[in-house]
Amino acid sequence: MSAGMPKQIANIAGPSGGGKNSIIDALRERFSNCTMLVTATTRAPRPGEQDGRDKFFFTNERFNEERAAGNIVEHRYVPALGTHYGVYKPDLEKRLASGRVILADVDIVGARFLKEHYNATTIFILPESIESLRTRVRLRNPNMSDAELEERMRIAEKEIAEYAPQYDYRVVNADGKLARAVDEVVEILQKEGYTLVR
């Protein structure tokens, strides 16, 4: 259904702390026509996050209402975190209509959906090693409990082992080598036919 569609959505995913957000931010800085898909979630905003800019922060009730209305076109519940995540159709359609390249950060469920329905290219950002990822996550969240850290590592190992092979491309974001990972993603997008405007 989507094979003839122009290349407009790129899903850049990876484990928490793997550097996907840094890569997305770098792409948005480098290319004026790159925009970020804003997804919906039932988790609380983190310090500095704004509703509608970073995520759409919904209550469980509102999330279910939006799903029932057909506005959340795919979703996933993460029992370990007690949180719902999903692609918010009004935001997706608004960004598609702008003609810009949309960078999405959604998990494997969302990646499959965007690939099937919107001809998205999917890229998985890998850490150098699980230990380097553990260090990054700990540094980013120094107050995180050991139990939460271990749960995040368990999720990350599952994503890397089971989900990463299902993406179109895998890019290693080695410690201190972010620019190299960004350049590799740019090469992939250009090869796949995305129009990137500086």
Task: Tell me what pLDDT residue 1 has.
Answer: 40
Two tokens, residue 11: 């899903």
pLDDT in tens, 40-85: 999 999 889 999 999 999 999 999 999 999 999 888 888 878 899 9
Name the more confident of 143 and 116.
116
> What does DSSP assign to residue 126?
E
What are the structural domain ranges in the chain?
A: 9-190
CA distance 26 to 29: 5
Classify the phi-psi angles of 106: left when phi > 0, otherwise alpha if psi is within -120 to 50, otherwise beta. beta
Q: Is the pLDDT of residue 2 over 70?
A: no
- pLDDT band, very low/low/confident/very high, at 29 (cuts 50, 70, 90): very high
Protein fold of 9-190: Rossmann fold (3.40.50)
Phi/psi for 80 (5° steps) reads: -60, -30
Give the chain's length. 198
Comparing C-alpha atoms, which of 82, 63, 59, 58 is closest to residue 74? 63
Two tokens, residue 60: 């469980």
CA distance 76 to 106: 10
Q: How many CB atoms lie within 10 A of CB 122?
A: 23
